[in-house]
Amino acid sequence: MKTKVLALLAATASALALAASAGAGAQYVGSSAGGYGHSSVDYTNAYNWYRVVGSGRYHWYVFTGGGTLQADGVSYADNGGWSGGWNYRYWQVYNASGAVMGFDVYWP
């Protein structure tokens, strides 16, 4: 009986972990010098990004799926983050440097 209960608990925990991560996303977003790049549209309340290619200044934006600007900023930092209420959104970057730039972008 104890083995069956433990197996049931393990299966339940595994199913809950899978459900909790179902909406999570990760995507590489790159852009050439003077260009834009963006993530796919997803239902989220936050973005975290980490520059993995290039250096220099960039502008970041968070838009709703319908194209309404929700937040923006200018940065030289290698990482950043934003959070707000839940909605369909995408993250966008404008590369203001003179070379290729790329980011790993994550959302819950």
* Enclosing domain of residue 59: 24-107
Residue 7 lies in a domain: no
Q: Could you tell me the pTM of the whole model?
A: 0.78
Residue 23's pLDDT is what? Answer: 64
- Tell me which residue of 28, 25, 35, 72 sits closest to 50, measured CA to CA: 28
Dihedral sign for Cα atoms in the order 47, 48, 52, 57: positive
Residue 2 lies in a domain: no
Number of domains present in the structure of the chain = 1
22-60 as b/e, with b when 16 or more CB fall inside 10 Å? eeebebebebeeeeebbbeebebeebbbebeebeeebeb
Residue 11, SS3?
helix
Residue 69 lies in a domain: yes
pLDDT digits (tens, 9 = 90+) for 70-90: 999 999 999 999 999 999 999
Residue 10 lies in a domain: no
Residue 17 lies in a domain: no
pLDDT digits (tens, 9 = 90+) for 32-66: 999 999 999 999 999 999 999 999 999 999 999 99
Lowest mean pLDDT among 1-5, 13-17, 52-56, 76-80: 13-17
Gap between the Cα atoms of 93 and 82, Å rounded: 13
- 81 versus 15: the higher-pLDDT residue is 81
Looking up residue 92, the CATH number of its domain turns out to be 2.60.120.680
